[in-house]
Copies of this chain bind each other. A is one copy, B any other.
Amino acid sequence: MPYPAGVSPSSLRIALLGCGVVGSQVARLLRDNADELEQRCGARLELIGALVQDPTKPRDGIPASLLTADADEVLQSGAPDIVVELIGGIEPARSLLLRAIAAGASVVTANKALLAHDGATVHDAAAQQGVDVAFEASVAGAIPLLRPLKESLAGDRVDRVLGIVNGTTNYILTRMDEAGVSYADALREAQDLGYAEADPTADVEGHDAAAKAAILASLAFHTRVRLEDVAVRGISHLTAADIAAARAMSHVIKLLAVAERSDDGGIGVRVAPAMVPLTHPLASVREAYNAVFVEARAAGQLMFYGRGAGGAPTASAVLGDIVSLARNRVLGGRDPGESAYAQLPISDPGSARSRHYLSIAVQDRTGVLAKVASTLADHGVSIETLRQDGRGADAVLTIVTHSSSAAEIKATVAKLRALDEVRDVASVMQVVGD
């Protein structure tokens, strides 16, 4: 329970749920920075316990006496003021968070999967109980992002968010671009470096980024956005030819999480590889770094850049949340939690408008270009730039369109593929503006 008005606690009790790489770092920072944290919070932060599966397994820098497999011990007898959930996944994380909230604790979570899948349950429970939920670490690790979106831009109107929010895929794309290696080799490198899992599906197919896109969209547009609202395409189909084509156009390919206002008054949320001009701030975000680019009506273009993963960076974000919730316990007040008053409709992914890049393999014979061009025109798709390169009996047409809807492009591509003269539409990608 929050302390009654006028009563300031001299210490606050912190409990961890889960204690892996991030949890150990949180515990370390709580200990190493104890004096500074006390100054910043107005109360001593005391780690009272950590719920783990196997309490006999020693954890870096946490006394064995604090480890327990007994949730009651941590959440009930421990009477924590702040509970930090670092288990991940839907269950048992959700049930444990709900128990913590019901017991009056404010909660910090880095759990993007739970928030994107069923954040509403957690937010509603916290609102009913009058406690805080903070989740800075759930998107883009160490980058202070959610708090700026919620607080600093609270007087502005966000139009668009473009994020590089998955370090694994950004590492792979950086290596393909800079070292010219194949997708398969770049993936192997990422696995060797520990950036990618043995089963890289969640990263390379865009599912991890999609959960973060849902959370970002919710915050930016004051609307509940769930994972299933996000249209997703990954990077596993990208080839060296795509990378080379981007480079020839002074662009670079990035896997972007996009959330934007649509013409129909709704919001579109998607994850897909896109071509980014080299002059765009997102183009220089290399290797495993993350960055989120925000376009707001009054503020203009903003970008937030930093490490998106890793024990210490994620722990830094968790600690920032802990300090904020601790200050609220000491001084009263509440964090700006979920804000979903706008409840904008989710737009049909087909309505998303953008310039598009098309790579079309055609037979190199008279009249082909006219046929392709008229197919585009028939679908209302106009051409910004076109390049034709001969390849023996074939040719490759590289086209960048003016702004068109995804649906128009999809119909155009289907029609192109049906043409005898077209061998293949090898690649279709959105192109970000300058």
Interface residues of A (CB under 8 A from B): 5, 25, 29, 33, 36-37, 39-40, 136, 142-144, 147-148, 151-157, 222, 281, 284, 296-307, 310, 312-313, 315-320, 322-324, 327-328, 331-334, 336, 339, 341-342
Contact = CB atoms under 8 A, between A and B. Distances in A.
A36 to B, nearest CB: 7
A288 B149 CA distance: 23
A247 to B, nearest CB: 17
Given A147-B148, A305-B302, A334-B331, A320 B142 contact: no
A155 B144 CA distance: 12
Contact of A33 (B157, B281, B333, B339): B157
A147 B147 CA distance: 8
Contact of A305 (B142, B305, B315, B333): B305
Contacts of A143: 302
4 smallest beta-carbon distances between A and B, as pairs: A333-B333, A155-B319, A144-B152, A144-B148
Given A136-B152, A155-B319, A284-B284, 15 more contacts: A36-B157, A39-B339, A40-B155, A40-B222, A143-B302, A144-B151, A144-B302, A147-B151, A153-B320, A156-B316, A281-B284, A297-B312, A299-B312, A328-B333, A333-B334
A142 B296 CA distance: 10
Contacts of A331: 332-334
B316 A307 contact: no
Nearest to A322: B155
A54 B142 CA distance: 48
B307 A306 contact: no
22 contacts: A29-B155, A36-B157, A39-B222, A40-B336, A144-B152, A147-B148, A151-B320, A153-B320, A156-B320, A298-B315, A299-B307, A299-B313, A299-B316, A299-B317, A300-B306, A300-B310, A301-B306, A302-B305, A331-B333, A331-B334, A332-B333, A333-B333
Nearest to A136: B152
Nearest to A341: B39
A401 B154 CA distance: 46
A313 B324 CA distance: 26
Contacts of A154: 37, 40, 319-320, 323-324
> Which of A25, A29, A155, A156: most chain B Cβ within 10 A?
A155
